[in-house]
Amino acid sequence: VPVIVSDHGGLREMVEDGVSGSVFCAGDADSLKQSLEPFVRDALYAQSMGEAAYERAKEIVHPELLNTQIMEIYESILDSK
């Protein structure tokens, strides 16, 4: 699925604008419209962007790494008390 996110918040850092998704200016309806148009007009573009988003997600989301990071956070919190 193609990813369309606003330029506010953490999701912006995960999406490569024009590569694995589209980024629009938060609160700007015209910007959102411009981000959506290519996906609506061209199914192949949407499909290729969705595939790129999937590959990007596989690059940055590793369950083992996430588990390790979460455990490190918990351990640091427990150690600080």
Return the pLDDT at 64: 82
Q: How do residues 17-35 score in pLDDT, each as one tens digit?
A: 999 999 999 999 999 999 9
Contacts 24+ apart (CB under 8 A), 40-49: 46/2, 49/2, 49/3, 49/19, 49/20, 49/21, 49/22
Is the pTM higher than 0.85? The answer reads: no
Return the pLDDT at 73: 93
Return the pLDDT at 22: 95
Q: Given a cut of 90, is residue 52 above it in pLDDT?
A: yes
User: How high does pLDDT run on average in the chain?
Assistant: 91
